[in-house]
A and B are shown apart, each in its own frame.
Chain A
Amino acid sequence: MGQIATPATGAEKTRTALDRAVIRFAGDSGDGMQLTGEQFTTESAWAGNDLATLPNFPAEIRAPAGTLFGVSSFQLQFGSQRVYTPGDRLDCLVAMNPAALKVHLRDLKTGGLLIVNTPAFDKRNLDKAGYATNPLDDPTLAERYRLHKVDMTGLTHEAIKDLPLNTKEKDRTKNFFALGLVSWIYTRPLEPTLDWITKRFAKNKDIAEANTRVLKAGHAFGETAEIFGEHYAVEPAEMTPGLYRAMTGNRALAWGLLAAAQRSKLPVVYGAYPITPASDILHELALHKRFRVRTIQAEDEIAAVTAAIGASFGGAIGVTASSGPGIALKSEGIGLAVTAELPLVVLNIQRAGPSTGMPTKTEQADLMQALYGRNSEAPVVVLAPATPGDCFYIAYEAVRLAAKYMVPVLVLSDGFLANGSEPWLIPDVTTLPPIEIQFRTEREGFFPYLRDSATLARPWVRPGTPGLEHRIGGIEKQDVTGNISYDPDNHDHMVRTRAEKVRRVAQEIPPTSINGPATGDLLVVGWGGTYGSITAAVEQAQTAGKSVASIHLRHLNPLPPDLGHILREYRKVLVPEINSGQLVRVLRAEYLVDAVGFNRVRGLPLPSEEIYEAINQLLGSTP
């Protein structure tokens, strides 16, 4: 084993200013990497940086220690300018064991900072990671990267040797040594983490003391160890003034529903069956009963959606959520809501498929399922949030549209948005558009399928309303009266009417915002969680003087009314997606434009570098 650095005092340290940095903490599932990353994120938010995060963890709850598939990581990018993505290549990698090094080293930039916990590189762990020899002994590692071999385990134990904790408990705090050290390297404030420790371990003073000491020990080690010749500062970013909080996509969806419950003055009935990565929405909503959110952990996905439909029939806001496999099970239920013309919100937190696929990895390959994945003609409204914080607005909008048009609304989030977080400017909720619910109570002239002339919505009648007793169902019905009808012309009319009702939602869509020139060589069109990657790549191309613009669709059905016009203002159209080319097919079919796809389906966000390359390639030049 190589030389291990020891602290020394009085070393002079230089501080270098950076625009941005990309850091990844990687270790065993049990090493607390998610917590370390989250705390580092909070510290960076306090420092006033813009940031984006990418948690990445195995689906196994307690994956065997030391194995490659048991590696858990947390990546974030923070900067003094707008940060759109968690970053492609790493400036700094913290590897707590050999498996973490093996899995993640390839993402570290040449010359990047590599910090390893040396005691974890023992025979057993090296074997598990498939290393024949210790990679730390290979001199090329230190030639390629700025390698720092730190005895984190030993230094952690030394810092808390007098505390009455057992070895395992002491061992468990070493992630805070890593956090303290990296916090020093990037000049992060420790206060938020110290606050967190105090609150989290209020009932266990020894654990609180241990974590505090180890965090400070890691920080002091950076300050004093001779190996760290310099450290970095990332100035606060220019951000819209206001009050901010960190927001993940799943929490934002849940809170958007709470906002909708409050504004509509209706209870939300949320039917869900646990599934990764959607379950956190259920957990979050279950905490907020005061908003009249009633969660039903249903017996299966079908019961989850049908319970929501039953609630909507009763005049509440019926919501269900799942991921792709669960949405497949719900499709018959969604069809029922289409023909019964009831409001329903369906959240799909997309994950890599098909079938079980890779449950904890992201993908956006359920667009066709959302648009067409039901028997017969069953159009629904489809929305997609662009960022974790945008999930709040999209959930609220989904409820508003579902109730106004008496139609199911599908929301396509994904694993990246669900678990990723961003600094989120807290909105003034009074500026949200009202959700005006008007239940029909007037008996005169009532028919269950009498339609509003502007929206084509049928009346929403709460059972319990005297004189309006009526029956609805899945069988085709005569328009207006709602009576069962097998009349061929009526069926054709109803198919068209249900489609037209969804099309009319286009009148709700604001003008499309264009990032870049209104006309030019290339338009990049994206949707969903790729917003950050696309925007970063497009702005890089714009900085390089390219005639490139981008638009990001939040409405996928109906599409924005101005989209056809915008597409024709550019010579070429590029559509990056984490699927094999779904939106690109829709655009080609709808608008007869020669749009080109850029597709990677790796279970990871699209690297903006690769989108940048694709832009240049399509423009016929090299970067």
Chain B
Amino acid sequence: MSPSEAGAKEAPKYTKKDFESDQDVRWCPGCGDYAILSAVQKTMPDLGIPKENIVFISGIGCSSRFPYYMNTYGFHTIHGRAPAIATGLRVARPELKIFVVTGDGDGLSIGGNHMLHVLRRNVNLTILLFNNRIYGLTKGQYSPTSELGKVTKSTPVGSADRPVNPLSFALGCGATFVARTVDRNIPHMDEMLKRAAAHKGTGFVEILQNCNVYNDLAWNVIYDRESKVQHELRLEHGKPLLFGPPDDRRALIMQGVTPKVVRAKDVPESTLWIHDETNVNAAKLLADLFAPDFPIPVGVLTAVEAPVYEDLILQQEQKAISERGPGDIAKLLTSGDTWKIS
């Protein structure tokens, strides 16, 4: 048993209602956050974790109001710092199940550095990054995931910044679990939340989320029924990368080191690209793909095992104690060079 599994106990039978707090939800009517909140509350009973051992931590932004609405322990902190706060909490209390709720601005702009380091350390927690490609709480400036040339209040003639891709960023940081889901696909969100929460290490989930006030239908390419059929690529471990309408299936294949879209019926089955969650290099290629030239990968890009930061820290502590006993300050004070004055 690893130190982080210590103290686990059986959870009572919960319902979604047990996870709803008494606070009024204050997002704009029609916000994609409502669907995510509902999905998270609905998923919680399935995790089998006692409610008191669950903590939601957030930074600043619309998404970061999330902890107030969960009837668990929660800490709404400062802009961008949730991953660092969560790291400290995990190191102090490795038996807790921690969710970090963040957005494209909080997690990738002001908190980009902490996001990098929590992922590379592989701290055992789940990160839900709501990506709506806009700053909502500050009323409509472009975000680090906004497309180049985005016209907003702060960029009246278009932004000059190239966007960052959250999945590529996470994989580049050495993330051990990276997934993407969509706020308008509740069953898939449920599935991704469960997978991420069960992952040992940092589970990173990008949730494509709609800000209906400042960036409505930014993800229409995957909301629109027709477009979704054309572009959504459901990733399933061990299955070939096929997408598109049933009468016009297309396959994603590798040509040299470059992904390429072909008609499925034009290629032999042996050349299909079989999705392998344990292949991080393949995940890095998939992460960069997007419509219109490529499909939009949705699902688990990668899930691999790696040492967990706080496990290593606690193992060092336990080793020191088991080899030499617990610390004794009186002994330490009189150790080494001392002299007596009488």
Contacts and interface: CB of A to CB of B under 8 A. Distances in A.
B87 interface: yes
B338 A307 contact: no
Interface in B287-342: 313-314, 316-317, 320-321, 324-330, 332-334, 336-342
Given A246-B337, A303-B81, A311 B92 contact: yes
A316 B52 contact: no
Contacts of B74: 469-473
Contacts of A246: 337
B112 to A, nearest CB: 11
Contact of B329 (A45, A302, A429): A429
A240 B342 CA distance: 8
A49 to B, nearest CB: 10
Interface in A429-459: 429-430
Given A240-B341, A464-B7, 9 more contacts: A46-B339, A296-B87, A296-B313, A299-B114, A307-B88, A463-B93, A466-B52, A472-B75, A472-B76
A290 B340 contact: no
Contacts of A262: 327-329
Contact of A310 (B85, B117, B320): B85
Given A245-B333, A258-B332, A313-B75, A471 B67 contact: yes
Contacts of B337: 42, 192, 245-246
Interface in B70-99: 70-78, 81, 84-93, 95-96
B49 to A, nearest CB: 11
B51 interface: yes
B93 A255 contact: no
A309 interface: yes
Interface in B177-215: none
Interface residues of B, number: 61
B80 to A, nearest CB: 8
A581 interface: no
A290 B87 contact: no
Contacts of B57: 310
Contact of B77 (A45, A296, A429, A473): A473
A313 B89 contact: yes
A307 B340 contact: no
A364 to B, nearest CB: 28
Interface in B112-140: 113-114, 116-117
A340 B329 contact: no
A197 to B, nearest CB: 14
Interface of A: 42, 45-46, 48, 192, 236, 239-246, 255, 258-259, 261-262, 267, 269, 271, 288-292, 294, 296, 298-300, 302-303, 306-316, 318, 332-333, 335-336, 340, 426-430, 462-475, 483-484
Nearest to A268: B92
B106 to A, nearest CB: 13
Given A42-B337, A244-B339, A318 B88 contact: yes
A50 to B, nearest CB: 10
B243 interface: no
Contact of B334 (A42, A192, A426, A471): A426
Given A306-B77, A463-B53, A299 B88 contact: no
Nearest to B26: A484
Nearest to A238: B341
